[in-house]
Amino acid sequence: MKAQTLIDYTRTLDCIHCGLCISACPTYKLTASEPSSPRGRIHLMRAVAEGEIEADASFAEEMDFCLLCRHCESVCPSGVEFGALMEHTRSELGPRTFLGRVSSKLGFGLLTKRPLLRLVAASLRLAQQTGLVRLIAPLLGERGQALTNLPSIPSAKERELLPERTPSSREDSTPVTLLEGCVMPELLGRVNRATVRVLAAAGHEVLVPANQPTCCGSLQAHNGALDEARILAKQVIAAFEETGEIPVVTNSAGCGSHMKEYANLFEDEADWRERAERFSARVKDLSEILAERPLTAPITENVSGPITYDDPCHLCHGQGVRSEPRALLDQTGHERVELRDSESCCGSAGIYSALRPKDAALILEPKLEALKDSGAKTLVTANPGCQLQWQAGIKSRGLDVEVLHIAELLERSLEARD
């Protein structure tokens, strides 16, 4: 591969080297090393594009070390699109080893096939219940930690897919469609059900198109599998086009951020770019749609206060959604405390915590300190990956804090009201 084709060169030129992004970067905070900062990574990309250095193993390592949290984008005065730059670079680098190629094909292939996901979830549940996970994990080295960090896989009943239509009892109800997600039904089906219940209570008929593909392609895109991401994006767009112009709701910040930027995948396909833009205009995070028709739900005793909210990177930096979740939480009447540095990454970052569990745990450390200092008894997030990462970190520290998705907290308030 020619070095020049590795990098989306023109995008690197937006960087004016001011360094304002450096202190926001979680990997720089860990290493205090310039190449592990956004400015340093852009400098490396540009040097490769200009043929000054090779795209060797140390270059690839700095690209892999990045969480793609996009905190650097939020603070950049020059509008550098770091996320798009990194996705392009990773795409051109591709998996570095044969094993890497095989496992990424298998892993990403798995995410797109519901029957296979079901089989893996059922097998994992069995392995957890028989103690096999504890036996196997040490044999897998660092990656074994990701296996032991997994929550208990729910029963088959709890992993059932959502009904295609859930009506609202409100007379002024309006329809929305819901993206069901790939791992969400298998690991956090209760969050999906809470989402439907809360939407219905807010006056939305909830449609879950049966023909939606299993995966929106966000994990693929973030990890450089752009061809696969393009195929999945086309399937998602086509499936939801059949539901007209009604909003497409997601309860996963990573999926929402990616679906709102589908057009970036189709720079060379004008017709798909246009369809992607029309689709993306319909995409809303759960908190955005609920903010339009607020719920009135009172404080409930089955949530311990005070509560705090941690901003998922792909909601605050990727979508600019910050005030809506806080406003919804405040409607419940709970005492809410702000979490120090709530916009910095928790280390989940899609499959990063599975691929680099040690780095992910180190990145979570200061946030666990902030949680302790906040005195909160319930931590609320709006992204499934963050929820699992926080649960694992809180468990390993032995903290007495419950982690809830915002849909779950709102559902508990509705239970108290009803």
With respect to ligand SF4, which residue has the nearer C-beta, 85 or 297? 85
Nearer to ligand SF4, 76 or 283 (CB): 76
CB 349 → ligand SF4: shortest distance, Å?
Answer: 8
Beta-bridged to residue 378, according to DSSP, are 307, 402
How near is the Cβ of 18 to ligand SF4 at its closest, in Å? Answer: 4
Cα-based distances in Å from 314 to 22, 105, 244, 365, 395: 19, 24, 26, 20, 24
- Min CB(363)–ligand SF4 separation in Å: 9
Q: How far is the CB of 71 from ligand SF4 (least distance, A)?
A: 4
Q: CA triplet 82, 85, 88: central angle to 5 degrees? A: 150
Closer residue to ligand SF4 (CB): 58 or 296: 58
Label residue 347 left, alpha or beta by phi (over 0 means left) and psi (-120 to 50 means alpha). left
Could you tell me the smallest distance in angstroms from the CB atom of residue 47 to ligand SF4? 15
Minimal distance in Å, beta carbon 320 to ligand SF4? 16
Applying CB under 6 A, which residues contact ligand SF4? 15-21, 24-27, 38-39, 41-42, 66-72, 76, 78, 80, 82
Residue with tokens 């929402």: 256
Shortest Å distance, C-beta 38 to ligand SF4: 4
* Edge-to-edge strand list for the sheet holding 174-178: 165-166, 204-207, 174-178, 248-250, 283-285
Residue 101 CB, nearest approach to ligand SF4 (Å): 24
DSSP-derived secondary structure for 226-268 = HHHHHHHHHHHHHHHHTTTT--EEES-HHHHHHHTTGGGGGTT
Q: Give the length of the chain.
A: 418
What is the maximum span of the chain, computed from C-alpha positions, in angstroms? 66
Cβ closest to ligand SF4, residue 69 vs residue 248: 69
**CA distances for 233 relative to 40, 240, 264, angstroms:** 31, 11, 11
| Sequential DSSP letters for 102-170 | HHHHHHHHHHT-HHHHHHHHHHHHHHHHHTHHHHHGGGGTHHHHHHHHSPPPPPTTTTPPPPSEE--SS
User: Smaller CB distance to ligand SF4: residue 31 or 148?
Assistant: 31
Residue number, 43 or 293, with CB nearest to ligand SF4: 43
Question: Among residues 14 and 92, whose Cβ is nearest to ligand SF4?
Answer: 14
Q: Among residues 247 and 254, whose Cβ is nearest to ligand SF4?
A: 254
